[in-house]
Chains A and B, each alone.
Chain A
Amino acid sequence: MSAVVRSDRKGGDFGWARAAWQQAGFGPVLLVLLLAVNIAVNPARFAPGAWGTLIGLAAPLIGAALASTPAILGGRGGIDISVGPLMGFINALIVLVLVQRLGIETPWIIVPAAVLIGAAVGAGNGVLATVLRIQPIVATLGTYLILIGITLTILPAPTGTVPAWLRALGGPLSILPLTAVFLAWIAIRRLPYYDHLMAVGSDDRAAYTAGIPVTLVRFLSYVITGAFAGVAALMMTALIGSADPSIGPTYTLMAISAVALGGVSLAGGRGGLLGAAIGAIDIFLLQSALTYFNLSTFVLQIAYGVVLVLAIVLTALHERLLGRAKETA
């Protein structure tokens, strides 16, 4: 903690770089490395003209990772494993109910609907995990199964199309929804709520004795997670251009890996959305590079596991080193 404060106070030329290093560990290093490899082997794909499509491809995973972060920051086992199925559920509702059945195509209804459904399910998770105090992984496992079940019931097979504006969000305009999430988070960071969340995540007993409404703060973190998952669902819908029950759930574990890769502590109270996004981009770039080398998906899976374990091990070793240096100083 004191290291972060120190770098802020100095605020030197590379203060932000040091802050990124402190927050995200090896995530940014990996990002630079993978980006260089990708640009070297496949310049056409990474040319500025193709950025829209590229970001559109990466967006659902980044969105899922961003969405997973607030609940984890709340600490004491806080986690939402229902983010992936929630994305699939919202995807099915938008395409099947709003677009196909009701014929609503305007973004002024679809976007708020996605965010509100997400926030509502998030509130449900929040009640289970913080008011009923069921262990978050079990509570959201329940929601996970319920959401997958409902999605498969109303949508047994992929179907449907999406309006043109939504498809554009998966291509040329793909940066918009991501920017929206980050702006929302920047706004949240300026509220006292953010400090409360980090305090609760670091030490909920101390936070409670300091008068912070621990239950409410944690509950709201699930609502934010749900609302962000709504945006991630929009990005996923934009990318696949239809309703597909099988894609959403695959994002859960990848998103949690991305969050850990980005230096967000699964114990809570440490990390942020920037780190989570970097972790998600790492995973995307890794997949992209390995796919380019035409390696089988099996190798991809091994590499993905190895990078995940190595990155968190290196981050832990680095932190340990920092801690020792501080003790001797």
Chain B
Amino acid sequence: MMSRWTSDQWRVAGSLTVAVGLHVLGTVLIPGYSSEFSIRAMLVLASLLAIASIGQTLVVIIGGIDLSIPFLIGFANVVTAQLYGQGMNFALVCLVVVALACLVGAVNGLISSSLKLHPLIVTLGIGTIVQGTVLLWTGGFPSGSAPPALSEFVSIGGSAGVLPVPWLVPCFVVLAALIVVVLARTPYGRRVFALGSNPRAAPLALINPIAMWTITFAVSAGFAAVTGILLLGFTGSAYGEVGQPYLFQTIAAVVIGGTALVGGRGSYVGTVAGALVLTEINTLLIGLGLQPSVVQAVLGAVIVLLVSFYGRDPHVRTSI
């Protein structure tokens, strides 16, 4: 049965096609690109980026932007290692860290929406405070380590039962499915889209914008913290700056996935596709032997190129 595709679905299909295309290109150009190890590594990296981008996707759909994600990733990374190193129960540590992050995120959303301040500047300011506090607490030299179970959970060489990938990947697939269902099938998900597409009409439909922004930014911060904890397992030791690459990568993943920064339009499947595209490009360019600086430049060009194909804004004359 051929059903009609919406433009959103076309965008998601487009970015998935680009990801597959890049993979084929890599396989042709670079020996070992499709080797088991390389695919495992890409899946793990893409999963981490996609988890960090969950919050950015939701926040962008309601018409905001969250620049505090990298700072909260660093916060979770350092604090988890520190508390676990001091002998605290790991599950408790995770709970505390994620709860604290959600609190910070809630403050982000509350300030931005209740005072109608641009979230870009609010999240930047709050993020800076969080980072400074963490640095002050650890004196700039974080200590502690990751529990072995966590390292096993995200290790590239790990396996999940019969699957040749670490548990992170199947768990992420379940999580992604959950997010998609929440966005499509729950009152919260529909309110996110309603508020994003028309911030003035939504309150008339009894949607409380302040509550929505507070919850959504809290969720965003929570998933940033989860990413920080997972990254601790990935690298083995704490590092306050570990989240910095995620500042722009989450935005890039969201935008490549076809979510519009003006709000009201987008999907999490698109963001996952965007995360895959970014991971493929990175692996491909590094595999071609390019310098990291050149990789960065090409990445910038590719983002602009992809978005100019399917992420363009309408002209102002169409809005009259």
Interface residues of A (CB under 8 A from B): 76-77, 79, 128, 132-135, 137-139, 141-153, 156, 204-205, 208-209, 214-215, 253, 256-257, 260, 265-267, 296-306, 308-309, 312-313, 316-317, 320
The chain B residue sitting closest to A208, CB to CB, is B316
Query: Do B315 and A309 touch across chains, with their CB atoms under 8 A apart?
Result: no
The contact sample of 14 A-B pairs, CB cut-off 8 A, is A77-B261, A133-B312, A135-B255, A135-B313, A141-B251, A142-B301, A149-B294, A296-B136, A302-B129, A302-B133, A304-B132, A306-B129, A312-B117, A313-B115
What is the bound-complex CA distance between A296 and B141, given in angstroms? 14
A260–B261 Cα gap in the complex (Å)? Answer: 20
Q: Please give, as numbers and ranges, the residues of chain A lying within 8 Å of B261 by CB-CB distance.
A: 77, 135, 137-138
Q: Which of B153-161, B186-194, B302-310 contacts A (4 or more CB under 8 A)?
A: B302-310
Given contacts A153-B291, A256-B120, A312-B122, contact A143 B300 (CB under 8 A): yes
Q: Contact between B313 and A301 (Cβ–Cβ < 8 Å)? A: no
A251 nearest CB across to chain B (Å): 14
Q: Closest approach, in angstroms, between the C-beta of A287 and any C-beta of chain B? A: 13
Categorize the interface residue count of chain B.
Answer: 35 or more
A125 to chain B, nearest CB (A): 10
Q: How far is the CA of A205 from the CA of B238 in the complex (A)?
A: 50
Residue numbers in B under 8 Å from A257 (CB-CB): 121, 124-125
List of B residues within 8 angstroms of A266 by Cβ: 118, 120-121
Pair B297/A148 contact, Cβ less than 8 Å: yes
Within 8 A of A (CB), among B128-172: 128-133, 135-136, 140
Q: Which of B118, B292, B303, B315 contacts A142 (CB 8 A)?
A: B303
Extra 8 A-B pairs, beta carbons < 8 Å, given A149-B299, A153-B294, A208-B320: A139-B304, A141-B303, A153-B297, A208-B316, A266-B118, A305-B128, A308-B124, A309-B122
A265 CA to B117 CA, complexed, in Å: 9
Contact in complex: B118, A205 (CB < 8 Å): no
Chain B nearest CB, measured from A70 CB (Å) = 17
Residues of B near A146 (CB, < 8 A) are: 296-297, 300-301
Q: DSSP class of A's interface residues: helix, strand, loop or mixed?
A: helix
* CB of B140 to closest CB in A, whole Å: 7
Q: How far is the CB of B301 from chain A (nearest CB, A)?
A: 6
In the bound complex, do residue B308 and residue A145 qualify as a contact, i.e. CB atoms below 8 Å apart? no
> B293 in the interface, Cβ–Cβ < 8 Å?
yes
Our pick among B117, B136, B304 for the contact of A299 (Cβ within 8 Å) is: B136
Contacts of B131 on A, CB cut-off 8 Å?
301
- The number of residue pairs between A and B whose CB atoms lie closer than 8 Å in the complex comes to 164
For residue B121, which residue of chain A has the nearest CB?
A260
B304 touches A150 (CB 8 A): no
Judging by beta carbons under 8 Å apart, are B132 and A149 in contact? Answer: no
> Which among A77, A149, A298, A305 is the interface contact of B126 at CB below 8 angstroms?
A305
How far is B119's CA from A79's CA once the two chains are assembled, in angstroms? 14
Contact A128 B304, beta carbon cutoff 8 Å: yes
Q: Are A309 and B129 in contact, CB atoms less than 8 angstroms apart?
A: yes
A133 to B291, CA, bound (A): 31
Contact A152 B293 (CB under 8 A): yes
Binding site for A on B (CB under 8 A): 65, 111, 115-118, 120-122, 124-133, 135-136, 140, 248, 251-252, 255, 260-262, 291-301, 303-304, 307-308, 311-317, 319-320
Distance of A204 Cα from B122 Cα, bound (Å): 25
Contacts of B314 in A (CB 8 A): 133
* B291 / chain A contacts, CB cutoff of 8 Å: 152-153
Q: How distant is B262 from chain A, measured CB to nearest CB, in Å?
A: 7
Q: By the criterion CB–CB under 8 Å, are A145 and B297 in contact?
A: yes
Assess the B136–A298 pair: CB atoms within 8 A: yes
Contacts of A296 in B (CB 8 A): 136
Closest to A145 in B: B300
Tell whether, in the assembled complex, residue B124 and residue A253 are in contact, meaning their CB atoms are under 8 Å apart. Answer: yes
Of A149, A153, A205, which is within 8 A of B320 by CB?
A205
Q: Of A135, A205, A253, which one neighbours B262 at CB under 8 angstroms? A: A135
Residue from B124, B295, B317 within 8 A of A256 (CB atoms): B124
A274 to chain B, nearest CB (A): 19
Pairwise interchain contact B317-A208, C-beta atoms closer than 8 A? yes
Kindly list chain A residues whose C-beta atoms are within 8 Å of the C-beta of B129: 301-302, 305-306, 309
Q: In the complex, are the beta carbons of A302 and B132 less than 8 A apart?
A: yes
* Given A137-B261, A298-B140: A142 and B300 interface contact (C-beta under 8 Å): yes
Complex-state Cα separation, A306 to B131, whole angstroms: 12
Closest residue of B by beta carbon distance from A153: B293
Question: In the assembled complex, which residues on chain A have CB atoms less than 8 Å from the CB atom of B125?
Answer: 257, 305-306, 308-309, 312
Which residues on the A side are within 8 Å of B294 (C-beta)? 149, 153
B residues in contact with A303, CB < 8 Å: 132
Per a CB cutoff under 8 Å, which of A138, A144, A205, A308 touches B121? A308
- Please pick, from A79, A141, A305, the residue contacting B127 in the complex, using a CB distance under 8 A: A305
Closest to A146 in B: B300
State A145–B294 Cα separation when bound (angstroms). 10
Minimum CB–CB distance for A110 against chain B, Å: 25
- Could you tell me the distance in whole angstroms from the C-beta of A241 to the nearest C-beta in chain B? 23
Q: How far is the CA of A147 from the CA of B293 in the complex (A)?
A: 10
Q: Which of B292, B293, B314 has the largest count of A CB atoms less than 10 A from its CB?
A: B293
Minimum-distance CB pairs A-B, first 10? A149-B297, A145-B300, A301-B132, A152-B293, A305-B128, A142-B304, A305-B129, A302-B132, A266-B118, A146-B300
